[in-house]
Amino acid sequence: MSTTTTTTPVRPRLSRGRFFAAVLVVTLLVAGGLSYLASAHPDGLEHVAATTGFGDTARDSAASRSPFADYGTAGVDHAWLSGAIAGVVGVAVVLLLAGGLALVVRRRGSAQD
């Protein structure tokens, strides 16, 4: 009696590095490409301040002269490009800070074991 075995094809697993690279690409595309579609209307706090009449009393923050104030890039005249650069730099800064924090926590956790 002969037995035949059927094997199902094994799907290759996505490596951790490729997964993080894909997430990074998608994140940069959203931050840089879709930032143009962001609303030009004021946010909730600005809207309430204007509606209740104290919006004119606001003072500029200390960061108002920074290179990326108001979701744009100083010195870049093209509105979409200015927002895209600010978005990509923002993503890079957050990833660096989060990655650095993760490394510190991971090392501290393994040192206590």
pLDDT tens for 88-113 read 999 999 999 999 999 999 888 776 66
Separation of alpha carbons 81 and 36, rounded Å: 8
Query: Phi/psi of residue 54, each to 5°?
Result: -110, 15
For residues 46 and 55, is the Cβ–Cβ distance under 8 A?
Answer: yes
Give the percent of the chain with pLDDT over 70. Answer: 91
For residues 71 and 36, is the Cβ–Cβ distance under 8 A?
Answer: no
The predicted model scores a pTM of 0.67
pLDDT at 40: 73
Query: Tens of pLDDT along 40-76?
Result: 776 788 888 888 988 888 788 888 889 988 888 999 9
